[in-house]
Amino acid sequence: MVKTPTSILPSTSGEESLSVDTKGEATPSKSVFTLGRFVRSIRQGRVPIILLLVSFVTCLTIFVAAISWDLTYSAGTTAAETLSASLQQQFLKTIITNVINVFEGTEETTENLVSSWADGTFQLSDREAVQKVLRSTVAAYSNFFSDLCYTTIPDGYIWGAFWESAGTDGQRNYLDWKQSAAYDGNLTTWLGSTMQNSYSSPDNAEGYWVTSVIGPNTPTSIWSTVNVWEGTGWKTHCRRMYDSNNVVIGVQNADLTLEFLQLLLADSAAASPYKTYLYALEVGSQGDVMIASSEPSVDFYGYDDYGNANRTLTLTEMANKDQIIAILYNQIAGFSSLGNFLAVNGKDTRLVQLPSGDHYTLQWGEVIRDDNTHWVIAILLNRDAIMAPLAASNRKTIGVVVGVVVAASGLSVLFSFFLAKALARLSRDLMLLADFKFQDVLQADLDKKTGTKKPRYSRISELWRIQRAFHKMVVTFAQALSKNKQFSDGFAGGRRPTLPRNNVDNLKDTSQQKPDGTRPSAVVESKMLAVEEPV
């Protein structure tokens, strides 16, 4: 580097730059970038570039992060809702399929038995032969129905076979059912069972299972409404019997206990990976009644004065006993029945909040066999449990977004600081040039230790070009001004040129300096300035 004679340059002690006062005028300042100037610029309505960059980068980062988060969260929410709906539909499909299989198996069995009466295979004159068939059929299809029997008219005799549970290990006792109008209260047993007693109506020929298919304007077959007997709900499939002469001789029927439905709902709820509630109701002209629940604690029976269950409770009655069932009841408020509600609203999924505070999705399923058999299955699945992993991931995503915003803002602050500092230095020099203080401009780049001219160029390419061009302009303009005596002598108020003519003539055009530090041979070394640029 070429040493610059300090005698022809101003002293470097107490070096000052220019700042802007409250009137917007250039005033000396120790630093080209200060917090005070930053605040004053904002107050004066001039937005600093650092604020623009930080605001832009922060807003852009937040916007992109918010869009990304929203798209991700929306996709996750949609997937969770799809999973919830799919699980509910699968459970409903399984339950409804099993219920229909039981109904169809029972209906097909009674139809085959009635056909045997009609074609003469069964004869009233040989009841024992019929009894053997009923026994084997009950044993083979015990998972479909609990008994098979027939009632003859007008005598009201009942013959059949049934099974009952024997203990808690799944064993069953199979019994004959032989009952007449003069029934003495005993049953003949088979397969090792002990003597049992059975219910007997005063006149079986007038039982509901008979009158429902034998009488004016009655169908040939029908399911009864749910009846309660011995603390359990029952449903009976009744089919009119004819002999080989097409004469009505009685009713063939099969009974199924609603315990199968209770077990089906409980098993389905237990198989669910999330907390699930299942309820079954029967829609009827006398009201919607509760017939089964996956919750063993739910008691949906009404009792007589002796404490015996004698009927199933309506949905309205159950709503007063159970808070979750009350939510089901509130869903159909304004409709005369659950059937009307489903006819209008279909089986759309709904989101409900349980007393626990958790949100559950609610769906409905239907099984319709005839006028007396319109079952509705309600399933409530814990949506919050499904959304829990997504919620945890969402919290992590928010943390990442905040981190990205902070990092981006920090980088933009750092970048804008250096950019603003470089621009402020240019602004400072322009202010000095406005007063023709070329020596002050050049002195600002003087190395205090070595006394050499060492311009501080920016590492940003565009700013580097501007600074080099500016430096060239200063040197060139100073040389031209010093050579123009007429112009130099015209300064108002006795202002002197900032550079002596003999020194200005020796200024070197540092803009010719190459990035590697070399210079063209045509350029003469200056005795006053030595320019050092970053490699």
Yes or no: say if 209 and 238 are a contact pair by the CB < 8 Å rule: yes
Note the pLDDT of residue 34: 63
The span from the CA of 20 to the CA of 32, in Å, is: 10
Checking DSSP bridges between strand 248-257 and strand 147-152, what pairing results, if any? antiparallel
Q: Using alpha carbons, select from 354, 301, 294 the residue that is nearest to residue 328.
A: 354
The pLDDT tens digits for 174-220 are 888 887 654 444 444 433 333 333 444 446 788 888 999 998 889 99
Of 192 and 109, more confident: 109
The answer to whether the peptide bond before residue 520 is cis (omega within 30 degrees of 0) is no
The pLDDT tens digits for 63-96 are 877 787 777 777 777 777 888 888 999 999 999 9
Q: Which two tokens stand for residue 398?
A: 């928010």
Yes or no: say if 443 and 8 are a contact pair by the CB < 8 Å rule: no
Note the pLDDT of residue 71: 74
> What's the rounded mean pLDDT across residues 384-409?
78
Domains of the chain, earliest start first: 1-30+435-535 (no CATH), 75-95+265-388 (3.30.450), 102-260 (3.30.450.20)
The span from the CA of 219 to the CA of 204, in Å, is: 19
The pLDDT tens digits for 306-353 are 889 999 999 999 999 999 999 999 988 888 888 889 888 877 788 899
pTM above 0.95, yes or no: no
At 278, the pLDDT band (50, 70, 90 cuts) reads very high
The pLDDT tens digits for 207-254 are 888 999 998 889 999 999 999 988 889 999 999 999 999 999 999 999
Per DSSP (E only), the strands in 137-273 are: 147-152, 158-165, 172-179, 221-223, 227-229, 232-242, 248-257
**Token pair 């990205």 is at which residue?**
404
**Average pLDDT of the residues of the chain:** 77
The pLDDT tens digits for 416-456 are 777 777 777 777 777 777 777 766 766 666 555 655 556 66
Q: Using alpha carbons, select from 404, 414, 405 the residue that is nearest to residue 460.
A: 414
Stated as kind and residue range, the H or E segment containing 338 is helix 338-345
The span from the CA of 4 to the CA of 525, in Å, is: 12
When mean pLDDT is compared across 26-40, 89-103, 148-162, the lowest value belongs to 26-40
Note the pLDDT of residue 451: 55
Note the pLDDT of residue 455: 63
At 2, the pLDDT band (50, 70, 90 cuts) reads very low
Note the pLDDT of residue 220: 93
The pLDDT tens digits for 13-24 are 334 444 444 444
Note the pLDDT of residue 479: 76
Q: Which residues pair with 362 in a beta bridge?
A: 350, 380
